[in-house]
Structure 1
Amino acid sequence: MGMLGTRSAFLMERFERLGDSKDMESATGIHEEIMRRTRTGDQVRTRALANLGTVLCRKFEQTGNLGDLQQAIKHTEEALDATYVDHPDRAITQSNLGAMYLRRFEQMGDLGDLQKAINHSEEALAAIPQDHPKRAGIHSNLGTWLSKRFERIGDFGDLQEAIKHTEEALAAAPHDYRERAILHYNLGSIFLSRFQQIGDLGDLKKSITHAKEQNNLGIRLFESFEQIGDLRDLQKAIKHCKEALGATPNNHPERADRHSNLGNMLFVRFGQIGDLGDLQKAIEHLEEALAATPKDHPKRATGYTLLGILLESRFKRLHSAEDLNKSLRLYHDAHEFRTSPPRERVKAARRAVVFNSTVYRSDAIIATTSAIASLELPKLKYEETGHWMRQLASFGQGGLLEWARENKVMKDLLVWLWDAAVGPVFDYLESRGILISGGAHDNDLKRIWWIGVGQLGMAPLHAAGDHSRGSTRNTLSRAISTYIPTIKALSYARQTQLQLFDKYGSSFSTEHSKKSRTPIKRNLLRYILSSAAKSSIEPTVLRTPTPAKVLKQVQHHGIVHFACHGVSEFNPSDNHLVLFSQDGNKTDRLLARDISKLVAQNAQIAYLSACSSAKNPSVELADEVIHLASAFQLAGFSHTFANMWETNDYAACEVARDFYDLLFQNRGNGGDDHQRVSTAFYKAVKKVRDRSPGCPLVWAPFMHTSA
């Protein structure tokens, strides 16, 4: 029997060196043969059970077959039960069993398995001699597992114990211990977790000190930069990651990750400093990372997405249509990789159009279910585009006579926008049967997602065209329009399923002082409350709230409605909603930048019945899409409704009333809630347009940003 055990040990050692799975299968067969030849209670059988458990666990790590892990646990438990309490092998068997429970916890997420792993390791540590060479490993395991329990439960005591055990593991490990670098990494990670909990910079420094012992120093410094914002940490992180990459062989399995990490850091530095060279190098590293990642590797989707983001950023700087085309394809590849079976690539139905105007040329990039195409727009001249957008940014500064002049200019602007940009796109889509030629009935219209780049970031693409009675040469007659800031944002947003009127579907409304509550707005509020009650929705109404109270409430409601004043500043991050005190003599500002920092888990619809809530008065910053509506998008709202300039109270209240009326009417009818919301808003706006087609200043400001 001894010879069989020795042969099994030799086979496993050779397997670890050469990786031949036949050696592992042979070792498994040997232990099973020993068990057949021995009786229960025989110490040789007990040792064979424990060894078989170890081999099966190693087999699970190679193949991922959960059945092997279950058998490993079963055999090791049986071996532990048959081992005397004071037997010298008991501590090691117990430690191995703890590791197996940890593996099962990682697979199935059962907290009971993690608890068993910790209990077995604690008992193993109590039983093993102080000078035993495996004591450091048990301390290390216990520290790691306590840290995992802290992540699940949040008990700070677990974090403290994790640090204690990992420090003891490091102290007990010989300087030539092959896992010493891992101990430094683990201890650094735990100190970083404690820093994130209590903010002690000493813990952050300890984390960096431990990271110096291994290749992840750059990552630690990058995490320090993210926490503190010290650019020197980012510079050092890039330096160390470059050195780590230089020392990594071309065929090393970690080379792709190191290219990716370095590319990400260079992209962050580009965002901080603006050096285009950093962006170019970041793209090169991401391309190398993708090339080194196996085609079926789960990280490949992330690689597609990251490279797409970088190429889209370079497109915004250099305006190369080739970069945008590549970016669109990468986002598409990432979506397919995540959502489709390997042999059945199902394309998400969408029509996205990106407009770009430069001094060299102007294009529309059109992404459909079947292709991505670039359409040159010779009539979309860069200087003329700038002229029209500056006109648009200046609207809303005068009285009645000025309003009449601006309304005429707006009609001319919308016709120019159709002729130069939007019309050719519809001609392209209709010629290929993607849209119905010449328009369709409201119920048959398809959605289009618009993305304006550069100066066109503020263009009213949804209202483009000739709106004289009977004309269909306009966007409203051809499609349901939606805005989205980037293709990536659309790809992400479409992954979220909208669930209207579930337990989160309550409505939230703000009002101000008597000074700003006009009879029209009071009637609208009463109508919304009445409609909500009929639909069994319990609304929360905040009258004269503070910004802090609004921010708190927004996080707990699925639908939020603001009836207030909006202010558009030259610095878009200072855009705000005005909140009046009860007596109307004092005001507070609900800033766009504060809204954007929210994480609203239940967010669905944000309706901003506020003037200029989607206005960016700076043509130079039009490309950044920074306004109140985008702030709510960043907070997590799937659909945001806002106004591109100052609006007429009657029209604003009519659009809001009809929108909610249509939304509540169609409740529970099944189908796509994203489409239901979009169609309801489209019909509400079109109703106002149809009544006053010659007054685009009245109906054109209403816009929709969504998935």
Structure 2
Amino acid sequence: MSDAGDPEHTVRPAALQAMEERLERVVLHRDLTPVVESGALRDAQRLAELLSGEHDLAVRHLLGWFHWFRHQAIPVPANPDAGHDRPDLRAAVGALTACFLAGDDDLPPPLLPLIAESAAAYACELLPASRESDDPVRLRALAELWQRIVVALPAAHPHRAVHLSALGNVLRITFGRGGHPADLDAAIDRFREALSAAPVGPGRAMYLFNLGDALRVRGRRAAAAADLDGAVTLLRQAARAAPDDGPYQGLVLTSLGGALLLRYERAGAAADLDGAACGYRDAAEAFPAGHPGRTEALSRLCNVLRIRSGRTGSAADLDEAIETGRRAVDAAPAGHRHRATLLSDLGGALLARFERLGAAADLDAAVDHHRQAAEAVPADDSGRAVFLVDLGDALSVRFERDGTAADREAAVGAWSAASAAQASPVAVRARAGLSAARLLAWSGAAQEAARAAEAAVRLLPLVAQHRPEPPDRPDAIAEATGAAGAAVAAATAAALALAAPGGTARERAERALGLLETGRAVQLGQVLGSGGDVTELREHHPELAHRFCTLRDRRDRSADPPLSAGEPREPGAPGSAADDTVPARPHRAPGAHARHRTARELAAVLAEIRAREGFASFALVPTADELRAEAAHGPIVVFNVSTHRSDALLLTTEGVTGLPLPGLGRTAVIDRVNAFRRARDTALAGDDPAGREEAQAVLVGVLEWLWDAAAGPVLEALGHRVATRAGGGGSTTDLPRLWWAPGGLLGLLPLHAAGHHTDAPDDPYRRTVMDRVVSSYTPTVRALRHARRRGRLRAGDPAAGRALIVAMPTTPGLPGDGMLPFADAEAALLAGRFAQSVVLRESGRADGPAGPAPAAAPTKANVLAQLPHCAIAHFACHGTSDPADPARSRLLLHDHAQDPLTVRSLAPVALDRARLAYLSACQTGAIGAADPLDGAVHLTSALQLAGFPHVVGTLWETGDRTAVRITRAFYDGLRTESAALDPDRAARALHAAVRQVRDGEDLPTGRDRRRAPLLWAAHVHAGA
């Protein structure tokens, strides 16, 4: 026993001291006589007079123990059932329940189950209010109370299941009010325990529903197939176990329909879409007329039928969707809290039928319903922006049909209002701004279009950048920018900024560069899970980075559909049955206060971050001064190819200059990319000598066009007009450095090799990039800043001579074992060049019945384990790109089929000593799509962003002799006078090695190497 609840500084009443002394005698002498002797009850009565005073908890604590001791001292009657009715037992439980609720843990262990049951009755009274609460402290306290109740109950307690379910409900509510995903995980764990503890019977349906519906929510958040499969299975069981009709059956069927729809969106199985339609249709029938659940089920059925019509082309589904949507609207009177959603759903179905059949009445009705939806939401409601976006979309469709200026202005007005809605989700606001910009640009309002696009792009760094698995699931960036992504949205904004009147040409160029930097950085972060401001913040201020990401994710988490787990009834007195507990239809808490509180907290964190040195522009468009500082080592050329126009932005120490490139139109770039890829593949195949020679001629032609349309005008504008002849291995140390940031489409072509290579070698104005500058690549200017900063920090690392060498002379699972004869030659060449080296070599034996891979096998785990300890990493292996998801581009190691080393898997690796990565592998710098939307993300740029200041990669597979020759010359070029290897020489060493190959002796065929770019144009340098 302790003096729980009694402040030490107050004067202790005599009654309190008398009871303390009496109970101390019991404990000291282990004798219950003091609580039954004459005067004991009189002392208890005098003590009870102090209840509700300043010593209330201390009084209850002592009274509880007093009555517990008396209950033990007084003989139990012959009828054992009367034991629970003993007044001393009831008094002890009643007094100690208050102590339990206050957090007191000095309680009689045998009484804990009864005390917990008593406390549960109080906790149940708090559950309804918790559903309307936005107070995280209150919700967390209630969750902790239920957790203590559950812990106090023995494993076999008859009411354990219902209390576990109650705890799960509170945790789930906490998650829904901006809590952490761990709250939802914990809720699912408690629901799972509750289901295991639940007896067989009618009440089991509630436990099945609770777990299934929570898995549905987590599956929706994380796009997890296992969660959605589990949700469907459990909810089907709940539907079979639930009563045949009524609100509860409707609730279960609505959740089942939602789980099936989510699984359809993830996997595309038509049966799931059909099942969702059936689930919602049956749910609507199960709810009685006038029940809000019926309206909700009809609304969701309307959407599913519209989706199915789009898949199958069924006009009947579209007609039923509209009729169902009208029934839902008719069932929701004016002032109904979901009326705006119902109107919007109906408007969407009508718009879909117009697009299918072209009936003007449907389009007019769609616009009218979307307008009513927007008007039904208060102006300060955070959800209004969604309805304004839908209204703008419908008005723009009608403008395209009729050309009515009023519709165009109304559409722009709706989108602009949505974009300006400060309390609305950032992704919705950004999408609205981009939509307004596109329509304004089409209408010729260049300045207004530029302003709208710029405002939208400035929002993108604050959108949660979590790319779900698999990549075809929708995410916040896609919602904000459409399928094109942040990089393409920024390209449009930059083009509009360059074309808009007002300001100086330099100001327009600076604005355009800042927008490109922002969009590309957001896209890189989305694809790789790294890079950009957050990665740098995490390196220097991890706690601030964690707070920022947590608040950003909490703010952008969209509200879950108005379905929630069932709420258990009060468990009742000890020994009563609770198996027939049926959940009531829950109310949806508005959550407005929580959203506003999160927004305020996020603003405060951003202010704190921007006050730190080096982070003044965190999550903002970078300033011109910040970017200009990176041009100290040489110009940085940022290309922008868009449907509006194409330009090069030339960043030098003097500022930013815009260079229009009319010959670099988007269509022309696509044509050259496709021609280059076809010719490259033909030349690599090598089956037909004549076809190979013709393909090489196409490659030469593309490189000449690339000079004429892009690289040539850039070098002329920068003043790089004179070529340096290095031929035969001459020095190129006098050549200036230049960095290319091509982005998107242009990243598929070798800018560093652009030129007329057949010009006379001694021509001082030779029109080739390689003869005028030393080229490097970077995804963004700020990525180059990060690479340089890392390089400076690691220059003096004592482990600078330690290298990881990965050799894959054969690759399991590839045709012909993926033979790479040069891999062993490169490994042998390099092993003796480093003070310390770790060689991981493929032995030709794959995993299987014979046993695991050897300890020194080049597996993903072994490579990732070695990378943090090495300054240089050399990979002689195959690589491949993934057009659908660039972050899944990979190096093909021993276990590539089971556990591939992908771009995304590099994100969490701590490359604290990394200085140089050399990827002597095919396609490590290539992208396999004709229109890359992720800013030319491939293994080469990914390693730069992951932490290597210098990276060498290849755009395609090179010949064995060429690969070894370039590798040898490259590492020779890194040597200093002291024979040490200096990775900071990487760009010049690679440039010299490639020029040696290009300018070397004639081919065996007698043809000039300059006409065979496939041999020497593949290697690229990225980084500092």
- Select between 595-604 and 347-356 the one with higher mean Cα deviation: 595-604
SS at the partner of 1:477? coil
Aligned to 2:902: 592
Q: For the Cα contact (< 8 Å) 1:555–1:601, is it kept in 2? A: yes
Q: How big is the shift at 1:425?
A: 0.7
SS at the partner of 2:791? coil
Residues 1:322 and 2:497 aligned together: yes
Q: For the Cα contact (< 8 Å) 2:809–2:821, is it kept in 1? A: no
Residues 1:528 and 2:820 aligned together: no
Q: How big is the shift at 1:321?
A: 4.8
Aligned to 1:195: none
SS at the partner of 1:396? helix
Task: Pick the structure with greater CA Rg.
Answer: 2
Q: In 2 relative to 1, CA 678–182 (structure 1 residues): closer, same or farther, beyond 3 Å?
A: same
Taking the aligned partners of 2:995 and 2:379, their CA distance within structure 1 comes to: 56
Q: How big is the shift at 1:530?
A: 0.7
Q: In 2 relative to 1, CA 683–212 (structure 1 residues): closer, same or farther, beyond 3 Å?
A: same
Instruction: Find 2:672's aligned residue among 375, 378, 388.
Output: 388
Aligned-residue CA RMSD (Å): 6.0
Taking the aligned partners of 1:257 and 1:128, their CA distance within structure 2 comes to: 55
Q: How big is the shift at 1:352?
A: 2.1
Any idea what the Cα deviations from partners look like across 1:566-599, whole Å, max 9, x if unmatched? 3456556464444469xxxx98783535545553
Aligned to 1:181: 135
SS at the partner of 2:805? strand
Aligned to 1:457: 747
Taking the aligned partners of 1:627 and 1:377, their CA distance within structure 2 comes to: 26
Q: In 2 relative to 1, CA 542–379 (structure 1 residues): closer, same or farther, beyond 3 Å?
A: same
Aligned to 1:549: 861
Q: Which amino acid aligns with 1:684?
A: A
Q: For the Cα contact (< 8 Å) 1:642–1:704, is it kept in 2? A: yes
Q: Which amino acid aligns with 2:922?
A: C
Q: In 2 relative to 1, CA 560–263 (structure 1 residues): closer, same or farther, beyond 3 Å?
A: same
Q: For the Cα contact (< 8 Å) 1:363–1:374, is it kept in 2? A: yes
Q: In 2 relative to 1, CA 263–185 (structure 1 residues): closer, same or farther, beyond 3 Å?
A: farther
Any idea what the Cα deviations from partners look like across 1:32-91, whole Å, max 9, x if unmatched? xxxxxxxxxxxxxxxxxxxxxxxxxxxxxxxxxxxxxxxxxxxxxxxxxxxxx94359xx
Q: In 2 relative to 1, CA 416–388 (structure 1 residues): closer, same or farther, beyond 3 Å?
A: same
Taking the aligned partners of 1:204 and 1:640, their CA distance within structure 2 comes to: 49
Gaps of 5+ in 1: 1-84, 90-126, 133-138, 143-167, 192-199, 248-255, 291-305
Residues 1:481 and 2:766 aligned together: no
Q: For the Cα contact (< 8 Å) 2:903–2:938, is it kept in 1? A: no
Taking the aligned partners of 2:791 and 2:798, their CA distance within structure 1 comes to: 15
Any idea what the Cα deviations from partners look like across 1:605-644, whole Å, max 9, x if unmatched? 2211112222223213376424333443454433322111
Aligned to 1:470: 762
Instruction: Find 1:665's aligned residue among 976, 981, 994.
Output: 976
Q: How big is the shift at 1:446?
A: 3.3
Q: In 2 relative to 1, CA 210–530 (structure 1 residues): closer, same or farther, beyond 3 Å?
A: same
Aligned to 1:678: 987
Taking the aligned partners of 2:497 and 2:798, their CA distance within structure 1 comes to: 45
Q: Which amino acid aligns with 2:921?
A: A
Q: How big is the shift at 1:390?
A: 0.8
Instruction: Find 1:402's aligned residue among 684, 687, 691.
Output: 691
Q: In 2 relative to 1, CA 310–470 (structure 1 residues): closer, same or farther, beyond 3 Å?
A: same
Query: How do 1:148-547 and structure 2 match up within 5 A?
Result: 181=135, 183-184=137-138, 206=170, 209-210=173-174, 227=222, 243=381, 259=422, 262-263=425-426, 284=455, 312-316=487-491, 320-322=495-497, 325-326=510-511, 328-329=513-514, 338-339=613-614, 347-350=628-631, 351-358=635-642, 360-394=644-678, 395-397=680-682, 398-399=685-686, 400-430=689-719, 438=723, 442-467=732-757, 468=759, 469-471=761-763, 472-498=766-792, 499-500=794-795, 502-505=797-800, 506-513=802-809, 520-533=822-835, 537-544=836-843, 545=857, 547=859
Taking the aligned partners of 1:681 and 1:557, their CA distance within structure 2 comes to: 24
Aligned to 2:9: 87
Aligned to 1:68: none
Residues 1:700 and 2:1017 aligned together: yes
Taking the aligned partners of 2:422 and 2:218, their CA distance within structure 1 comes to: 17
Q: In 2 relative to 1, CA 359–206 (structure 1 residues): closer, same or farther, beyond 3 Å?
A: same
Q: How big is the shift at 1:258?
A: 9.9
Aligned to 1:612: 923
Q: For the Cα contact (< 8 Å) 1:184–1:213, is it kept in 2? A: no
Q: How many residues align?
A: 509
Q: For the Cα contact (< 8 Å) 2:881–2:928, is it kept in 1? A: yes
Q: Which amino acid aligns with 1:315?
A: A
Q: Which amino acid aligns with 2:989?
A: A
Gaps of 5+ in 2: 1-6, 12-53, 60-99, 104-121, 146-163, 185-213, 229-257, 263-337, 342-376, 386-418, 440-448, 462-479, 499-508, 519-531, 534-609, 618-623, 726-730, 811-816, 844-856, 1001-1008
Q: In 2 relative to 1, CA 449–616 (structure 1 residues): closer, same or farther, beyond 3 Å?
A: same
Q: In 2 relative to 1, CA 204–702 (structure 1 residues): closer, same or farther, beyond 3 Å?
A: farther
Q: For the Cα contact (< 8 Å) 2:648–2:660, is it kept in 1? A: yes
Q: In 2 relative to 1, CA 209–420 (structure 1 residues): closer, same or farther, beyond 3 Å?
A: same
Taking the aligned partners of 2:753 and 2:901, their CA distance within structure 1 comes to: 28
Q: For the Cα contact (< 8 Å) 1:331–1:491, is it kept in 2? A: no
SS at the partner of 2:779? coil
Q: For the Cα contact (< 8 Å) 2:954–2:1018, is it kept in 1? A: yes
Q: Which amino acid aligns with 1:480?
A: V
- Select between 624-633 and 222-231 the one with higher mean Cα deviation: 222-231
Any idea what the Cα deviations from partners look like across 1:178-198, whole Å, max 9, x if unmatched? x9936247669999xxxxxxx
Give TM-score scaled by structure 2 length.
0.41
Q: In 2 relative to 1, CA 345–379 (structure 1 residues): closer, same or farther, beyond 3 Å?
A: closer
Q: How big is the shift at 1:424?
A: 0.7
Q: For the Cα contact (< 8 Å) 1:352–1:366, is it kept in 2? A: yes
The sequence identity of aligned pairs, in percent, is 24
Taking the aligned partners of 2:381 and 2:179, their CA distance within structure 1 comes to: 9
Aligned to 2:911: 601
Taking the aligned partners of 2:925 and 2:741, their CA distance within structure 1 comes to: 14
- Select between 636-645 and 659-668 the one with higher mean Cα deviation: 659-668
SS at the partner of 1:685? helix
Q: How big is the shift at 1:685?
A: 2.0
Give TM-score scaled by structure 1 length.
0.56
Q: For the Cα contact (< 8 Å) 2:803–2:873, is it kept in 1? A: yes
Taking the aligned partners of 2:452 and 2:779, their CA distance within structure 1 comes to: 25
Aligned to 1:687: 996
Q: Which amino acid aligns with 1:679?
A: R
Taking the aligned partners of 1:311 and 1:580, their CA distance within structure 2 comes to: 35
Query: How do 1:136-147 and structure 2 match up within 5 A?
Result: none
Q: In 2 relative to 1, CA 332–421 (structure 1 residues): closer, same or farther, beyond 3 Å?
A: closer
Q: Which amino acid aligns with 1:497?
A: G
Q: For the Cα contact (< 8 Å) 1:520–1:649, is it kept in 2? A: yes
Aligned to 2:962: 651
SS at the partner of 2:490? helix
Q: In 2 relative to 1, CA 420–356 (structure 1 residues): closer, same or farther, beyond 3 Å?
A: same
Taking the aligned partners of 1:330 and 1:318, their CA distance within structure 2 comes to: 7
Q: For the Cα contact (< 8 Å) 2:650–2:657, is it kept in 1? A: yes
Aligned to 2:272: none
Any idea what the Cα deviations from partners look like across 1:626-677, whole Å, max 9, x if unmatched? 433344345443332211122111111122222222224367989xx77433
Q: For the Cα contact (< 8 Å) 1:283–1:310, is it kept in 2? A: no
Q: How big is the shift at 1:698?
A: 0.8
Any idea what the Cα deviations from partners look like across 1:485-515, whole Å, max 9, x if unmatched? 2345335444433525725542112223567
